[in-house]
Chains A and B, each alone.
Chain A
Amino acid sequence: MRATTGTPEGTMTTTASGTTPLLEAHHLRKTFGDIVAVDDVSLSVQRGEVVCLIGRSGSGKSTVLRCLNHLDPPDAGWVAVDGEVIGYRERGGALHQVSERTLASQRRQIGMVFQQFNLFPYLTATENVIEAPVGVLKHKRSEEVEVAHDLLRRVGLEHRIDAYPGQMSGGEQQRVAIARALAMKPKVMLFDEPTSALDPELVREVLEVMQALAEDGMTMIVVTHEMRFAREVGSRVIYMDAGRIVEEGTAEVLLTQPSQERTQRFLSRML
């Protein structure tokens, strides 16, 4: 068991001694006008961990995720993946913001799956998956088509390789979106409420794909309302409220014996 339980608000948690974490976030802060969406959030995720962020709507968990790959650049704090600081370059003891182009290349190691799938509507499932590897990494198209078909088979969509997003169900679209993110061979995958926009009967097919991915050893950070998924797949669960981390611990401990009153109240409503 790597994770610690019941850490007080906002403090850095070291989850393992000795090894460097795959993803680190240091004292992130993000405001939108007067609203403080993320307030002094620090994270440390080890290779192969599945960290679930839970909390009420508006608690800042999605914003934390979007800060990690700089879709919403944090106002303060920084994120490092595999030792490389995202969005900045260290020079003379200071972090200098990098160009949009460099940031784009840094983002390639972070995959992201969105609540609304966000597939490219005028490209087929296969074309959606190969778009970034061919267009950005300049890989050979024929090879990437093979890879894409392989990925689509892994998410159970071998029969939908030529379908357009508009012809697929939400669950199928979300699985294509997962395959599209995986095609870039990311070191870590971010999931932003991947099942929230799905009809109830389609939720399972997406969660099953995510579970298989976790079992293959993918490092994942998942914002979710699916408590069962958090308990069964999550190696660690973080409860957030009002932009801060209230409590974190192993899925089993946090979900069954939370130490903070706010966590208890939230969980009693969810279960």
Chain B
Amino acid sequence: METQRGVSGTIDQIGGPGRPEAGRDADSAPRLVPRRHYLRWALGLIVTVYVVAIVVSFVTNEKFNWVVVGRYLFDPMVLAGLGNTLLLTVVSMTAGLILGYLVAEMALSDSTLLRAASVTFVWVFRSLPLLVLLLLLYNVGALYDVIPIGLPFIPPILTLPTSGLSAFAVAIIAFSLHEAAYSSEIIRASIQSVPRGQLEAARALGMTRGRTMRRVIFPSAIRVALPPLMNQIIMMLKGTAIVAFIAFPDLLFSIQRIYTVNYEVMPLLIVASIWYFIIVSVATVLQRSVEHRMARVTRRRGAAAGPVSVGKARGQ
């Protein structure tokens, strides 16, 4: 009783002198004062000052040579290189994902042989550094004169001379294999993340494997797989820069070709950086919007269905 009276007394005093009319009103509550985060403000200020200093140095340092950057940003050769980088990424990512899905299905198969083949594939192409794989394939002519297409041990339908393999073809094969090994693990894990009960429900309903995959597994698995797959796509996009080693004219190689002539090394590397920034930013925005849309499927309709249905239920 003593303390209670004490507390209420304090409240009265708070309301009292500051806001006399509120203090006497029984319904009014004391004013709530949020805590002030002085350390947070101070640290924020320090970081801001540093960032500004860095940006200022970018602008004031004449060696950046922004005029040259501006001149080459839309240079036809740079744009052609950019196009090649995008083409390489899209083609090898598509092939890599298809192959990766097959490898993941093999990993989940009931057949020991298929599982072993899948594990071996992933093991081999995750062990090899991408650059080493690229150089190995580029020089495969030293091992095989022709690549036979057809069934093993019988005369092939078609033979491809290895000397005819372009840098582009080599790059696509290398990146696809590399990508397939990594994405197969992501795909396998995302398929396994789908609760078993949902698969059993689909089987009990008499749904076929293919339909279960499309209607039950895929919608769940894609939500799990999308962020890491997007990571892979972004890594691959930037990773394609190593094709400069086999003289394929991607963005970086085109830039190099220009600066070996005019010696404007830094401005041209900045041109390349700006383009990589732009593509990755676009990819990130796309990913966010897809993720947002997938989350909204359940959220939005839920918000609409909830109150309406409650109202109906009450009405009856």
In the bound complex, how far is the Cα of B197 from the Cα of A71, in angstroms?
11
Contact indicator A163/B302 (Cβ below 8 Å): yes
Tell me the smallest distance from the CB of A181 to a CB of chain B, in Å: 7
Specify which of B201, B207, B208, B297 is in contact with A114 (CB 8 Å cutoff).
Answer: B201
Residues of B within 8 A of A135 (CB): 207, 211, 215
Is B129 interfacial (CB-CB < 8 Å)?
Answer: no
Total number of A residues with any Cβ neighbor in B under 8 Å: 37
Known contacts A122-B297, A164-B298: A107-B203 contact under CB 8 Å? yes
Binary interface encoding of chain A residues 159-177 relative to chain B, with 1 for a CB under 8 A from any of its CBs, else 0: 1101110110000000001
Residues of B within 8 A of A181 (CB): 204-205
Residues of B within 8 A of A132 (CB): 205-207
Interface residues of B in 209-236 (CB under 8 A from A): 209, 211, 215-216, 219-220
Residues of A within 8 A of B215 (CB): 120, 131, 135
Contact indicator B305/A107 (Cβ below 8 Å): no
In the bound complex, how far is the Cα of B149 from the Cα of A4, in angstroms?
69
Binary interface encoding of chain A residues 57-92 relative to chain B, with 1 for a CB under 8 A from any of its CBs, else 0: 000000000000101000000000000000000000
Residues of B within 8 A of A177 (CB): 201
In the bound complex, how far is the Cα of B211 from the Cα of A50, in angstroms?
32
Contact indicator B205/A122 (Cβ below 8 Å): no
In the bound complex, how far is the Cα of B99 from the Cα of A136, in angstroms?
28
Contact indicator A121/B200 (Cβ below 8 Å): no
Known contacts A118-B198, A136-B211: A164-B204 contact under CB 8 Å? no
Contact indicator A167/B305 (Cβ below 8 Å): yes
Tell me the smallest distance from the CB of A39 to a CB of chain B, in Å: 23
Is B4 interfacial (CB-CB < 8 Å)?
Answer: no
Question: Looking at chain B's contact residues, is the secondary structure mostly helix, strand, loop, or mixed?
Answer: helix
In the bound complex, how far is the Cα of B71 from the Cα of A36, in angstroms?
78
The residue of chain B having its C-beta at the shortest distance from the C-beta of A110 within the complex is: B204
Is A34 interfacial (CB-CB < 8 Å)?
Answer: no
Is A105 interfacial (CB-CB < 8 Å)?
Answer: yes
Contact indicator B206/A120 (Cβ below 8 Å): no
Tell me the smallest distance from the CB of A23 to a CB of chain B, in Å: 15
Binary interface encoding of chain B residues 285-316 relative to chain A, with 1 for a CB under 8 A from any of its CBs, else 0: 00000000000011001101110011011000
Can you list 30 A-B pairs, Cβ within 8 angstroms, ordered by A?
A69-B204, A71-B204, A100-B208, A100-B209, A104-B208, A105-B206, A108-B205, A108-B206, A112-B204, A118-B200, A120-B198, A120-B215, A121-B220, A121-B298, A122-B219, A132-B207, A136-B207, A158-B312, A159-B310, A159-B312, A159-B313, A160-B305, A163-B305, A164-B302, A167-B302, A167-B305, A180-B201, A180-B205, A181-B204, A181-B205
